[in-house]
Each structure stands twice: as structure tokens, then as C-alpha cells.
Amino acid sequence: MITKIFEPYQLNSIELKNRFVMAPMTRSRASVTGHAPVTLMAEYYGQRSSAGLIITEATQVSMQGMGYSRTPGIYSDEQVEGWKQVTETVHRKGGKIFLQLWHVGRVSSSRVNGLQPIAPSPIIAANTSVYIFDGAPNGDATFIPVEKPREMSKADIANVIKEFEQGAINAMKAGFDGVEIHGANGYLIDQFLRNNSNQRTDEYGGSKENRIRLLLEITQAVTGAIGKEKTGVRLSPFIKFKDMDDPEILDTIMLATERLNELDIAYLHLCEADWDDAPAIPITFRQNLRQKFKNAIIATGNKTPEEGEELLQNDWADLIGFGRKFLTNPDYPERVKKNAALNSITDPHTLFGGGDARGYTDYPLLK
């Protein structure tokens, strides 16, 4: 029986009506010049407000932090105003929504933002691409290789911390219920966590304690600005793509988890591998994580409702994230409750980019 996933959950002072989380999904619909959310994005998120919690697509904290074309930002007044449309629509429909704060680090190209990427160390990510829109006849994204990054100075690191802090403040101005710090999937914070991408010899590199320093300093800055009860962190211990294979990462993540627990943040969000033959996460890892982190745990990674229910019943997670299921089924919780048929992706060309409703806001609701 699938029951617990429909129960409400108290995320500190925020009451979630169920335990479904709409996970972050990059859709590249922001304005071309200002990288601001547009009205269509407000409709898209509003349609999905039956989720207990929506976490937005990754949102860059600066132009330097941008890695893909037409992704939204949270560093300008125009962007804040654009996001207000989204939060007002979601709240009007009874939903709760967090903004995911993002810096891509080395996963970028000057063809995206006109800037050389920055990273903990000047190591290019092998076999890694980003995309731009260069006028392909069908409107498709064009994938291009990332460029070699410049090693970050101490001033760069201090600046990035301030950008995350200001991004969180701007998110509050835009009406969000909280923010999620993106420390997963091979982007900047994850690059600092892993010894194959972080080969620094200062206090931000070398030991595991040093490699988690940037994550903790960003988290402290954000919680100091908006409150620990409104701050979550996303990590991806088992994901190795974007040239991120580090044999020490599980121990590093556990150490980071202990420190994040001390900071008393609202939640820890596990981004888990979502391809069909992905390795299963060991039960011992989930048990250890629960012992080390006392607040909410979100598990996301192509799970069925039944798999999510099992995690909830065993107390290995408190909330379950769904990505593509919400992409194609705006009313996904209702469909699960009624065991109704699910919509499938109508056209893969519309996953990233597009100027109209096709493949974005035109997926039908249950009649």
C-alpha cells in the first residue's frame, strides 16, 4: 500500500501537504538577454503545485556561474521580478517552492557567457559538454565541449560565497519559501569536494576537511542571511559523470553530512543515479546517513512511488523527489493516488529550450 507518501510533512515552519517533491530540472526557457524567468515559467510551475514541495531548476548566482544557454539567474532585479511571477502563482495554488542556487564552475564555455570558466584547479572536465542555441532549424540545442578553467584565487572564492549569499537574499525578495544549495552533479561545489577535480594545496584542498570547506562556508553564509530553517543542500555521492570519479567521495560526503547536521539545515537532498542500470545505493549508506543527519532527507533518482514508499516506511528518507514524472504529469500525485495512466514525453526536442507551450505546459491534466 502506498500511504505515507501522501501524508503531510512539517519542514520546520513550512507545512507540506504531501511528501512528493518536484525535483530540479533544467528546461532553458529563461529570457535570452536577461536570463530572467518568463510568464510561461510561472504557468509551468503553477501547474505542478500539487507537489508537497517544488525545487526549481538550477539557477545561477552570477553570469560567471552560468554553464548552459537560457538558464535563469537570481542576481539581477529583472530576474527577481521574473521569479516573483513564479512564486506568486505557486502560492496562489497552495504550493511551496524553494529556489536551487547554482554555480557550474568548470562546466561551462566562453561561448555560453563570454567568460573563461573557473574551478578549484585548472583541470578540464573530460568528455563533458554544455549547450547553446545557435539557430538550428528545429530549435535544438547544440552541444559544445567545455573549456579549460582558470584556477580560482582566494578572492574568487570569497566572491562566490558572497554570490550564493546574495542569491539567497534575492530569492527571499522573490517570495521563495527557501533555497537549496546545489552541491551535486559535478558543478562548482562538487568540484571542490572531489580530489580528482580539486588539487589545491591551500586550505580549500588536500584533506577531506579542506575539500568540504567551501560547501560549509557557503552554507554558513546562506543560513546567516535567510535562516537555517530555509536552507537545504543537494549532494550526489554516487554520481561520477562530468569526470568526477573520486574513490574518497563517500567518506567526504559523510564528513560533510556531519558538519551540515551541526549547522542544523532544513534538509539534505540526495541526487541519485537515474539511469536504468545504475548501481543500487547500499542500505548501509542510507542507515549511516540517517544516523548522521537528524533533519529531513530527500531522495531523488527515477524512483517508482513504491520505491519511494519503501524509503519512507523504513525511515531512510522523509521526502521523495520525482523529476521526469512531474515534467510530463503536472498532477503526478493525483495520478499516483488514482493509479491513473501517465503521460510520456511527447517530443525530446522540447526538453531543453523552446519559445512556446509545446512540451512544456501542454501536458494534459486528468479529466
- Residues tagged active-site: 187
Q: What is the number of helices (H) and of strands (E) in the chain?
A: 12, 14
For residues 260 and 231, give the distance between their C-alpha atoms in angstroms, rounded to a whole number: 11
Sign of CA dihedral 349, 353, 356, 358: positive
* Angle in degrees, CA 131, 219, 192, rounded to 5: 55
Three cell numbers at 271? 541526487
SS (H, E, C) 288-337: HHHHHCCCEEEEECCCCHHHHHHHHHCCCCCEEEECHHHHHCCCHHHHHH
* Angle in degrees, CA 190, 226, 180, rounded to 5: 30
Three cell numbers at 173? 525578495
Q: In the Cβ-directed half-sphere of 157, how many Cα atoms lie within 13 Å?
A: 20
Beta strands in the chain (DSSP E): 9-11, 14-16, 20-22, 53-60, 97-102, 118-119, 129-132, 142-145, 150-151, 178-182, 231-235, 267-271, 296-300, 319-322
Distance of CA 31 to the CA centre of its chain: 20
DSSP string, 5-18: GGS-EEETTEEESS
Specify the pairing of strand 178-182 against strand 231-235.
Answer: parallel
For residues 223 and 165, give the distance between their C-alpha atoms in angstroms, rounded to a whole number: 8
For residue 62, which of 103, 116, 25 has the smallest C-alpha distance? 103
